[in-house]
Amino acid sequence: MSFVKKLAMKRNLCLNFNAMDFSEPQDFREWARRMLALRPLMMVFLIFGIVISELRFDWAEQVLGSYLVTTNAQRPESGSIWEVGHRTVTARQTLEQLITDRQSAQREAREAGTFTQIASNLPPGQGAMLSSEHFRRLYLTLPGTIAHEIVAPFELLRLLSEGRWVRTYLENEDYGLKIYLLNPENRVLRELRISSQLLYQIKRVELALQGTLEDLPTFENRIYPAERFFKALDSLPEEDLGSVLSQPEGLLGTPGRIVRVGISDEAVSGYIELGFEIEEGTRRKVILLKGREWAVWILRSYLEEMSLETQTGSGQGL
């Protein structure tokens, strides 16, 4: 018995192969009889049923479709819409990066308390937009003389009174900070610059305000006790005092006691910087002022003489 027959019998398919006649039909009647027998007809109906059910219920499509759904996750993201999608993703990432950079520059500028912080935080060539109020706050942190160098306070008052100055754009450039005071249409009302030298000065002032004279290298070897400084100052003619300290009111207004005074070794545009170290409780700070070069030189020569005298007299030096 063939394997097929055995299998058929095993599964009770009731296909009696022995009973089937595989010989060639001898006439048409025989052929028709065989064709219209129960088994072929059942087979035809079965096939027909399968075809009809597929046409009616689309099960083949559904089976294939469902199979493909199961393999979807493993398949590549290819094809035109995916390419567009990838480009969109790349574009979004690039934009996100640009926006993030801009916003972080903007945030740092907003959080900065001084112009030097803005200058050091802003990447070169980038800018940040601030409100006019914020700019005023930064401006007011500057010592009067430096603030004047940037823009006169009257000028800012005028712009504010006109009501057109709404925003300020700061841009970090090679030579320092470029500042545009803008109206609502982004038109520049006034263009200001803080040169890198001025920024350096501002930085020094900021440093000075927090530390001692030793923090400022330009005063090295030229630091004198306040007592000796004012004694030397007393030695100057009355008319020269104003040339050393043109605005002593600023010092008077500062709480605390002057303990030491430093004289810078650099003269800029006919002026020499003087550093007044002030003790307030446990804190020390330095106020920087400028004196005329010639007057400060005279003062310094007095101080040096007094130092020599002190050294020869008591063997003590500074």
Partner 1 sequence: MTFIRMVRAAFYGTLCLISVMALIGAGMFFIAVRDLPRVPEPLSRIIETPPTEIFAATGERIMVMGGREFIPLSDISAHFIQAILATEDHRFWEHHGVDKLRTVKALWVTLVKPGRIEGASTITQQLSKNLFFSFKRSYMRKFRELLVALQIESQFSKREILEAYLNQISMGVGANGVEQAARTFFGKPASELTLAQAALLAGLPKSPTRYNPYLHLDRAKKRQRVVLSRMEAVGYITGDQAQSAFQDELNLQPPSRVARTGSYFLDLVINNLEERYGPEVVYHGGLKVATTIDHQVQSMAEESLRAGLYRLDSMLGIDEGVGRSSGGEGLRPQGALVALEVNSGAVKAMVGGRNYVETEYNRAVENNRLPGSSFKPFLYYTAFEKLGLNPATVFIDRPVTIPVVGAPDWEPENFGLKHEGPMILKRALMKSVNSIAAQLVAQTGPEEVIATAHRCGITSTLEPVYSVALGTSGVSPLEMASAFACFGKGGIRHEPFWIGRVEDALGRILEEHIISGERALDPSIAYQVVDLMRGVVDAGTGSIIRRMGFNLPAAGKTGTTDGFYDAWFTGFTPALCTSVWVGYDRGEGMRDTRGVGITGGRAAAPIWADFMRKATEGDPPREFKIPSDIQFKMVDPITGMEATAFTLNPIRVALREGQELQEHAVWEEDPVDSGKGELPSQSLPF
Give the interface with partner 1 as residue ranges (CB under 8 A).
25, 27-28, 31, 55, 58, 61-62, 64-66, 68-69, 71-73, 75-82, 84-85, 87-88, 90-92, 94-95, 98-99, 102-103, 169, 180, 182, 185-188, 191
> Inter-axis angle of helices 226-235 and 293-314, to 10 degrees?
120
Burial of 276 per CB tally in 10 Å (0-12, 13-18, 19+):
buried
Q: Which residues of 214-223 are buried (b: 16+ CB within 10 A; e: fewer)?
A: eebeebeebb
* SS3 at position 156: helix
DSSP state of 315: S
The residue among 7 and 32 lying less far from partner 1, judged by its C-beta, is 32
In one-letter notation, the amino acid at residue 107 is: R
Q: Whose Cβ is closer to partner 1: residue 185's or residue 266's?
A: 185
The C-alpha atoms of residue 264 and residue 217 are separated, in whole angstroms, by 9
Nearer CB in complex with partner 1: 98/268: 98
- In angstroms, give the least distance from the CB of 42 to partner 1: 17
Q: Count Cα neighbours of 242 within 13 Å in the Cβ-side half-sphere.
A: 2
**In sequence order, what are the residues at sequence separation of 6 or more whose Cβ sits closer than 8 angstroms to the Cβ of residue 86?**
77
Nearer to partner 1, 83 or 280 (CB): 83
Cα–Cα dist 34/47, whole Å: 18
Task: Give, in order, the Cα–Cα distances in Å from 27 to each of 22, 30, 73, 164.
Answer: 14, 5, 60, 111
By the 8 A CB rule, do 208 and 286 touch? yes
Instruction: Name the minimum Å distance from CB 173 to partner 1.
Output: 13
Write down the least CB distance from residue 75 to partner 1, Å: 4
Q: Which is nearer to partner 1, 179 or 244 (CB)?
A: 179
Q: How far is the CB of 61 from partner 1 (least distance, A)?
A: 4
* Comparison of 41 and 64: residue with beta carbon closer to partner 1: 64
Tokens 């028709």, residue?
32
Q: Which residue's CB is nearer to partner 1, number 101 or number 304?
A: 101
Please tell me the distance from the alpha carbon of residue 295 to that of residue 228, in angstroms, as a whole number. Answer: 16
Write down the least CB distance from residue 84 to partner 1, Å: 6
- Beta carbon nearer to partner 1, 6 or 92: 92
Report how far residue 133's alpha carbon sits from residue 139's, in angstroms, rounded to the nearest whole number: 10
Q: Rounded to the nearest whole angstrom, what is the least distance from the CB of residue 121 to partner 1 in the complex?
A: 19
d(C-alpha 8, C-alpha 16), whole Å: 9
Shortest approach of partner 1 to residue 85 CB, angstroms? 4
